[in-house]
Chains A and B, each alone.
Chain A
């Protein structure tokens, strides 16, 4: 069972986690679909399922100490503030942030990217300035930058990909001659599963004077992430993809950057002193947390981070590497299937595919009858689908609770797709 995992040279000789033991922690996995089949959840890249400890944390907050944060001079108010700030410290440790004040809670990755685009972007990107993205960004790491450059009359440039979804760093080298202000790219592609060489890109970008934002929405759930080690300037992710409640997410940025950035949203919580015509802003990170936050979700995110640190992200990564390899091998036996994305050693637990002559929506619909949940569509990467000349794809994706049996159920369901459509 223990196979060496090679993710872009990070060879980890660790024993994968035991998904069968962990499954007991996820109540939803004991439910059945309306057709009486066990739930085979293979859409974790869209959102992950939640372990009992996270559900209990949210429940415990509302039952035991629901109160606003940073306000109440009473016991439950102090408890909620302490739990909220403890969650921030857990998240900081989880992603290797040196100082928990560098963690800004947001609703999700999308909000974190928008925060940077509005606050840092509108102050630091001007007319004719370039921002470099890649061809495989999620719309969340594309559209905010489109709006920014439209507003300031800047430019967007894109690192192209090869047909199997590897970034063309030779072209990136050339794009850096434009002296971009920012390079923003995904750590793991939500559509192809490509793990991008963050350290290398950061070094190249910094040498050219650009800052770097990494979209970690698909990386934090699957790989050990250490923002200090990666060397980037901004890192964002969504809680709901990493076993935490919806409504939780985070932006990490280097302290000097956060301190120099103007507020994004304004109102209560983010201020120190308010006069009728001017205000003084709170210290970081609260300067960026206007209004009452989603306290329960943030507390849940802290618990999810502790849960995963308890398992060990290197073991999560090893588990998904083994599973991805198994999935690629098994799926290759399905008649008429095309698999997309990079070789197994350069990808995370995301497997996109198409069955010849069958639209992915039809694939997903037939699989649903077997209780198998996969995503079908463009996965919020329309430009990537255009680049690969695909109208849509089906996608299976994994998390800690995914098993070989899930993949076997997928393959059996695809057999039925082939039978119905006579591929």
Chain B
């Protein structure tokens, strides 16, 4: 009866692929959607311009976690350019379910986190420039 919670979505939610930690990743970003309390930290190992390994940790709703699981599967082996060209439609296609406007942020948190990881998730440019980038806001306000 429920189109959103297809078996494979629930399977990715319960047993997400690539869930874990890469100890010293080349690229890393922590994305959050404060509206829902969804969080995803994405870690990438890059070799010869290609994504050799990818992992994520996080917590959140079924849609955000399944989307991270599906997206990270897709990323392994891609060049950084190919990864950077991943679009919202690509992620929605991977999910393969109808996403209502209210849940779009959940579905696209993993892509948003990936984009930040690629653009600014590298090690600090200068040695004095400490601290890992984390805690980007996906934005949004909640009326009550």
Chain A: CB-nearest residue to B34? A382
Asked if B59 and A391 make an inter-chain contact with CB atoms under 8 angstroms apart, the answer reads: yes
Interface residues on A, range: 20 to 34
Q: What is the number of residues of chain B that contact chain A, defined by CB distance less than 8 Å?
A: 21
Residues of B within 8 A of A190 (CB): 144
Asked if A392 and B144 make an inter-chain contact with CB atoms under 8 angstroms apart, the answer reads: no
Residues of A within 8 A of B35 (CB): 377-378
Q: Which of B1, B5, B14, B59 contacts A362 (CB 8 A)?
A: B5
Chain A, range 359-376, C-beta contacts under 8 Å to B: 359-362, 365-366, 369, 375
Question: In the complex, what distance in Å separates the CA atom of A360 from the CA atom of B4?
Answer: 15
A379 contacts the other chain (Cβ, under 8 Å)? yes
Residues of A within 8 A of B36 (CB): 359, 361, 377, 391-392
- Are A380 and B10 also in contact (CB < 8 A) when A359-B61, A391-B59, A392-B37 are? no
Asked if A366 and B5 make an inter-chain contact with CB atoms under 8 angstroms apart, the answer reads: yes
B78 contacts the other chain (Cβ, under 8 Å)? no
Question: In the complex, what distance in Å separates the CA atom of A380 from the CA atom of B4?
Answer: 27
Question: In the complex, what distance in Å separates the CA atom of A422 from the CA atom of B5?
Answer: 12
- Are A359 and B62 also in contact (CB < 8 A) when A369-B1, A420-B2 are? yes
Residues of A within 8 A of B103 (CB): 361, 365
Q: Which of A380, A391, A421, A422 contacts B37 (CB 8 A)?
A: A391
A101 contacts the other chain (Cβ, under 8 Å)? no
Chain B, range 1-58, C-beta contacts under 8 Å to A: 1-2, 4-5, 10, 14, 34-38
Residues of B within 8 A of A380 (CB): 142-144
Q: Which of A369, A378, A420, A422 contacts B142 (CB 8 A)?
A: A378
A203 contacts the other chain (Cβ, under 8 Å)? no
The minimal Cβ–Cβ distance linking A311 to chain B, given in whole angstroms, is: 25
- Residues of chain B whose beta carbon lies under 8 Å from any beta carbon of chain A: 1-2, 4-5, 10, 14, 34-38, 59-63, 103, 106, 142-144
Q: Which 4 A-B pairs have the closest CB atoms?
A: A391-B37, A359-B61, A380-B144, A392-B37
Query: Can you list 28 A-B contacts (CB < 8 A)?
Result: A46-B143, A138-B144, A359-B36, A359-B38, A359-B60, A359-B62, A360-B61, A361-B63, A361-B103, A362-B5, A362-B61, A365-B4, A366-B5, A369-B2, A375-B144, A377-B36, A377-B142, A378-B37, A378-B142, A380-B142, A382-B34, A391-B37, A391-B60, A392-B37, A420-B10, A421-B5, A421-B10, A421-B62
- Residues of chain A whose beta carbon lies under 8 Å from any beta carbon of chain B: 45-46, 138, 190, 358-362, 365-366, 369, 375, 377-380, 382, 385, 391-392, 420-422
